[in-house]
Amino acid sequence: AQSVTQLDSHVSVSEGTPVLLRCNYSSSYSPSLFWYVQHPNKGLQLLLKYTSAATLVKGINGFEAEFKKSETSFHLTKPSAHMSDAAEYFCVVSDNFGNEKLTFGTGTRLTIIP
């Protein structure tokens, strides 16, 4: 069975400084990995996805993530935080074993300090 662990439930950064949201995964098979963002009162939105192509994945709004198999990690980064980045971020895994189930982490709330 697949799972993800988001290592921080809450991250605060100052506007203009780098963002790092950490995620470790567990999967019996070669996984697909995603990051989704949830703004208040809005639907979840896909930021980026990894599906066994390039290990460094670029997403929307300047976010990127690197798949590291040796560390079973898929951390999300952004060079410079913007106030509009304040939201809940979910790391998501699928086991690529023929089903459509996505397994979400518990989320990391990102706060941006002006």
Rounded alpha-carbon distances, angstroms, from residue 27 to 16, 53, 61, 67, 99: 35, 17, 28, 13, 14
79 and 18 Cβ atoms separated by less than 8 Å:
yes
How many positions of this chain bind other proteins (CB under 8 A)?
A: 23
**Contact call for residues 82 and 63 (beta carbons, < 8 A):** no
Between 32 and 73, name the residue whose CB sits nearer to other proteins: 32
Q: How far is the CB of 68 from other proteins (least distance, A)?
A: 20
- Least distance in Å: CB of 58 to other proteins? 15
Comparison of 43 and 114: residue with beta carbon closer to other proteins:
43
Torsions phi, psi of 81, nearest 5?
Answer: -75, 145
Nearer to other proteins, 1 or 56 (CB): 1
Among all chains, which residue has been given the structure tokens 């790391």? 91
Least CB distance to other proteins at residue 9 (A): 8
84: phi then psi, degrees, rounded to nearest 5:
-70, -5
Q: Does 1 bind other proteins (CB under 8 A)?
A: no
- In angstroms, give the least distance from the CB of 52 to other proteins: 11
Candidates 49, 55, 89; CA nearest to 71 is 55
Q: Which of 11, 25, 63, 107 binds other proteins (CB under 8 A)?
A: 107
- Which residues would be at the binding site for other proteins (CB under 8 A)? 32, 34, 41-46, 49, 51, 90, 92, 94, 96, 99-107
